[in-house]
């Protein structure tokens, strides 16, 4: 209904890109076009998201676990400057340290900057990867624009 009204106003509405399956793929069904995946996880697992694609495969390896309700506080580096451990607060409020061979920082604009700035050491006195002093500056958060309207007679 809104598409018809928008077109009468000379607007050009289009569907939001959703990275959805149109056919069965990788054991996941095609989209049912229920319309809820714009803001929520896809209950059918038809949407191409980390929740549906990456996490189940990582857990299936037996080399990955999810630690829910935890918050990484900072990253510790070794003498060469390579990240060796993440210090985090667990779900009970206790400080824990997790060592690993590889760390991937993918917390988004705000959380990545927070972690890098808090990860200070003798090698990185301004925070990890912040020798320029620009981490957290001139950044753009995930912007979302939305408009809604109602049209008489629709």
DSSP string, 45-93: S-B-SIIIIIHHHHHHTTS----TT-EEEEEEE-TTS-EEEEEEE-TTS
Residue 39 has pLDDT above 70, yes or no: no
* Secondary structure of residue 102 in the 3-state scheme: coil
The predicted structure's pLDDT at residue 4: 85
Weakest-pLDDT range from 2-6, 10-14, 19-23, 65-69 = 2-6
Band (pLDDT 50/70/90 cuts) for residue 60 is very high
Report the alpha-carbon angle 108-143-113, nearest 5. Answer: 25
Number of CB atoms found within 10 A of residue 47's CB: 21
Are 48 and 21 within 8 A, CB to CB? yes
The whole-angstrom separation of Cα 112 and Cα 55 is 20
Are 45 and 28 within 8 A, CB to CB? yes
Report if pTM > 0.85.
no
The predicted structure's pLDDT at residue 1: 52
Helix (H) or strand (E) holding 96: strand 95-99
């Amino acid at each position: 209904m809104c598409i018809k009204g928008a077109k009468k106003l000379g607007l050009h509405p289009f569907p939001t890109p959703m990275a959805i399956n149109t056919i069965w793929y990788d054991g996941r069904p095609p989209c049912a076009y229920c319309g809820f995946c714009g803001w929520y996880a896809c209950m059918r697992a038809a949407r191409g998201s980390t929740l549906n694609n990456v996490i189940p495969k990582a857990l299936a390896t037996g080399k990955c676990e999810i630690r829910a309700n935890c918050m990484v506080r900072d990253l510790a580096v070794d003498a060469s400057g390579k990240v060796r451990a993440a210090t985090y607060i667990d779900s009970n409020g206790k400080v824990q340290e997790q060592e690993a061979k590889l760390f991937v920082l993918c917390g988004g604009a705000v959380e990545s900057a927070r972690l890098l700035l808090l990860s200070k050491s003798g090698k990185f006195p301004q925070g990890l990867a912040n020798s320029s002093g620009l981490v957290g500056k001139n950044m753009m958060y995930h912007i979302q624009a939305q408009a809604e309207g109602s049209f008489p007679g629709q």
